[in-house]
Chains A and B, each alone.
Chain A
Amino acid sequence: SNSSLESNLEGLAGVLEADLPNYKSKILRILCTVARLLPEKLTVYTTLVGLLNARNYNFAMIRQLKECLKVNMYNEAVHLVRFLSDLVNCHVIAAPSMVAMFENFVSVTQEEDVPQVRCDWYMFAFLSSLPWVGKELYEKKDAEMDRLLSQTESYLKRRQKIHVPMLQVWTADKPHPQEEVSELYYLDCLWSQIQKLKKDRWQERHILRPYLAFDSILCEALQHNLPPFTPPPHTEDSVYPMPRVIFRMFDYTDDPEGPVMPGSHSVERFVIEENLHCIIKSHWKERKTCAAQLLSYPGNNKIPLNYHIVEVIFAELFQLPSPPHIEVMYTTLLIELCKLQPGSLPQVLAQATEMLYMRLDTMNTTCVDRFINWFSHHLSNFQFRGSWEDWSDCLTQDLEKPKPKFVREVLEKCMRLSYHQRIIDIVPASFSVLSPANPVCIYKYGDESNRSLPGYTVALCLTIAIKNKASNDEIFSILKDVPNPNQDDDDDEGFTFNPLKIEVFVQTLLHLAAKSFSHSFSALAKFHEVFKTLAESDEGKLHVLRVVYEVWKNHPQMIAVLVDKMIRTQIVDCAAVANWIFSSELAHDFTRFYIWEILHSTIRKMNKHVLKIHKELEETKARLARQHKRRDSDDDDDDDDRSSDREDGPLEEQIERLQEKVESAQSEQKNLFLVIFQRFIMLLTEHLVRCETGGIDVFTPWYKSCIERLQQIFLQHHQIIQQYMVTLENLLFTAELDHHILAVFQQFCALQA
């Protein structure tokens, strides 16, 4: 309660004041840290600072601010700025000096040749402090503030916005009837909120301001001026926060019985959302604490808190390019919240789910992925209880449409977390068309009726041999007899690409090892030599993948783990997987979720591999440097110069080898991305040409899915792809390309421009 908070503050201030002379630096350090890391409680701590009237406090904070900006810690920098501005309310900092700092922030927008995201951040740091201090600053310096606000307006008008659609959860070509839920770029949203705040004469009623109770004491204190603050210049190492949009699901119509939700253009909405995001950021590792802190956010009876919490959590979960925290955290957090509020939160969550389902047609594919993962995992914690009948509208639609597709993917994921019969049991019979296939293996040589197939007898031989614990050599000798359908004259060595050999071996082995993942992994390990030999060529690799698919097409999870294992044991390489995914054999499954899970997992492995070797190289270089340093320091006994050179030798050799390894890995990585982009361009161009000549609408469900998958590649791996901009511009995304495809590239370029 307010009065107990006030008396606590008074008591605490008294205690600290006694300590201050002795522990000043420690207390200042703690208060600085709190300002950076506990922004949701900032007004409590600014009041404390005011009561202490600690001198030199703001110097320490400015120094912290500079440090944060130098190391790209922008979240924390914003919190520090906000803390400083609230200190104006506590009469610790003089208003004019705060306005001067904001003038320096806004003047960043006049800098030339700097990324727009830099200007965006400084603008955000200024605007986002205004809910706290706008009133006070306007009262003391209205002319200056008016100037700042009009500079803000003209900046927002002239900045470019072409990248915004890439970040939206819902595509905008079918605008929502409710304007309340359109997704604005975060700065534009904040600007509309500040404009409204100004119109309301800066009256802000949501923020808890303990210092108001102590106004008479605080007024008497001597105010300090902030030291002048110049924003650190832009450098090559500066990495500014990614642009984002404000995701909204709910508005005032959504909780008819409870308190009214503040409007989307109200500053209250901004403050609530900021504070809830901050709570998650503070406590993400401790799910019970996080849930409790969210639910005890003040103002519970004046705002529909459960709705805000659910909205903020989904905003993070659906954030593009990536959520701030690992996806599974949000699932578990929502479960904790349901445990703490069993009578109210599950209903809000059900409402949210329904709302998201209704809007699937325009939902970004990446966000649909996350929705599928969340919903299936959530259901698995609640006995898969769902009112599937409510969604029977999807049964009448084409299976490729977003709604039936979503239900299919959810059911498939639910099956992975349980078992096939369970899923058949939980859905109504009418949903069987959307139910996943029974994940059994398909062995083409299984039946006697297949004995006319080429390779059938060899398959039988292999089966017996493997069951009798044959060695790799024995397998090779059995396979020697398999004719090569591609060649007229057999190569004696028999090690050139022979699709039939691959087919017979892989089909038989996978069939024998079908019992579990572990069985299959053991099989891959035991016959690694055979695999490596058969898959030596690029065509060999591609064919192995094809056969794996043929055997396990009913069990996408098995395909994924086998592909993962084969990459890790170098039976296939990443480029082969990419080519396989875009091959015509997989066209039927191209829009299925598991395909993209495999592709992104493949890219991630490639990225991790490059980082690992790079790290090894840096570590070895450091070892060499240390060795030199040691030698230089014992230079006095340098009678044996030759021996020290000899010591360097092996390390230097190692560094050279690692350098080569790094270069080759980086080149493989670049090649992977180029292959992927190339294949996308081919596929999309084919579709666009076909539509144009046939006079049909380009925007089919397949097209939406495909173009958003291309966007997803850019967004999810943007840091790495940035390195290839020149190649991409000159080689692939040239001006001759269809404008639909080029637009994706241009939007990406605009992201960090």
Chain B
Amino acid sequence: AMAVSGTLSILRSDSYADLSQYRDQHFRGTRYDQERLLRKSCTLYVGNLSFYTTEEQIHELFGKSGDIKKVIMGLDKVKKTACGFCFVEYYARGDAENAMRYINGTRLDDRIIRTDWDAGFKEGRQYGRGRSGGQVRDEYRQDYDAGRGGYGKTVQCQ
């Protein structure tokens, strides 16, 4: 009976639309609140964008899973220029789920982009949290990434 039940749970599986392990450490509220918001959210965080990827490109790609309410570009806190992430908010949760299933892990501007559930945009969250103003991941990385300002900030300062 277990073997057959196992088959049935495969049919219900929707791993791409599940919550990931990541939780925003700056979230104000309990873990429980955060997860409740994530489970009904229509907003996605999109990462690993090129600094040159435009709102228009994001709109075109993410529009394939449904009508977009808003795109908010992630900005360098100091320079106020794009720093490689954004938020995409849909009108309907189902459309956001389809983006998680079919757009997450595919390419935009030749880069594999990553999407994740977001608890909801709040003013201030459009800025990178790295010390230099961009995203944290660009502070310490050692590799050269032409679409993300070249070497990581720490490497650049050496």
Contact = CB atoms under 8 A, between A and B. Distances in A.
Interface of A: 12, 15-16, 19, 23, 26-27, 30-31, 33-34, 37-38, 282, 285-287, 289, 326-329, 331-332, 335, 373, 377, 380-381, 383, 413, 416-419, 516-518, 557-558, 561, 564, 601, 605
Given A329-B101, A517-B56, A557-B60, A417 B108 contact: yes
B103 interface: yes
Contacts of A26: 1
B34 interface: no
Contacts of A38: 7, 11
Contact of A27 (B1, B13, B107): B1
Contacts of B1: 15-16, 19, 23, 26-27, 30
A372 to B, nearest CB: 13
B67 interface: yes
Contact of A557 (B5, B10, B56, B67): B56
Nearest to A37: B11
Contacts of B102: 287, 326, 328-329, 331-332
Given A26-B1, A31-B4, A381-B106, A516 B56 contact: yes
A511 B108 CA distance: 28
Contacts of A564: 67
Interface residues of B, number: 35
A525 B32 CA distance: 35
A34 B4 CA distance: 8
B60 A416 contact: yes
B16 A516 contact: no
B145 interface: no
Given A38-B7, A373-B64, A517-B59, 4 more contacts: A23-B1, A27-B1, A413-B60, A518-B72
Contacts of A327: 64
A323 to B, nearest CB: 13
23 contacts: A23-B1, A27-B1, A27-B4, A30-B1, A30-B5, A34-B8, A37-B8, A38-B11, A285-B16, A285-B101, A287-B102, A289-B13, A326-B98, A328-B65, A329-B98, A332-B106, A383-B110, A418-B109, A516-B54, A517-B56, A518-B72, A564-B67, A605-B67
A561 B59 contact: yes
Contacts of B107: 380-381
A415 to B, nearest CB: 9
Given A34-B8, A380-B107, A419 B67 contact: no
A516 B4 contact: no
Contacts of B7: 34, 38
Contacts of A381: 106-107
Given A38-B7, A328-B98, A335-B106, A286 B65 contact: no
Contacts of A518: 55, 71-73
A289 B55 CA distance: 32
Q: Which 9 A-B pairs have the closest CB atoms?
A: A416-B60, A328-B64, A332-B102, A328-B102, A381-B107, A285-B14, A30-B4, A516-B55, A517-B55
Given A517-B59, A561-B59, A285 B13 contact: yes
A417 B60 contact: yes
A188 B50 CA distance: 52
Given A331-B102, A332-B102, A286 B60 contact: no
A15 B55 CA distance: 58
B65 A287 contact: no
B3 A12 contact: yes
A328 B103 contact: yes
Nearest to A19: B1
- Main secondary structure, interface of A, reads helix
Contacts of B110: 383
B52 to A, nearest CB: 8
B67 to A, nearest CB: 7
A416 B17 contact: no
A287 B65 CA distance: 15
A635 to B, nearest CB: 38
B136 interface: no
Interface in B40-84: 54-57, 59-61, 64-65, 67, 71-73
B125 to A, nearest CB: 16
Contact of B59 (A289, A413, A418, A557): A557
A335 B65 CA distance: 17
Contact of A417 (B13, B57, B65): B57
B25 interface: no
Contacts of A34: 4, 7-8
B64 A286 contact: no
B41 to A, nearest CB: 18
A289 to B, nearest CB: 7
B15 interface: yes
B17 A285 contact: yes
A319 to B, nearest CB: 18
Most buried by A among B15, B72, B106: B106
A293 to B, nearest CB: 10
Nearest to A377: B64
Given A19-B1, A287-B16, A328-B64, A416 B56 contact: yes
Interface string B87-111: 0000000000010011100111110
A335 B61 CA distance: 15
Nearest to A439: B56
Nearest to A515: B55
A287 B3 CA distance: 22
B8 A33 contact: yes
B108 to A, nearest CB: 7
Contacts of B59: 517, 557, 561
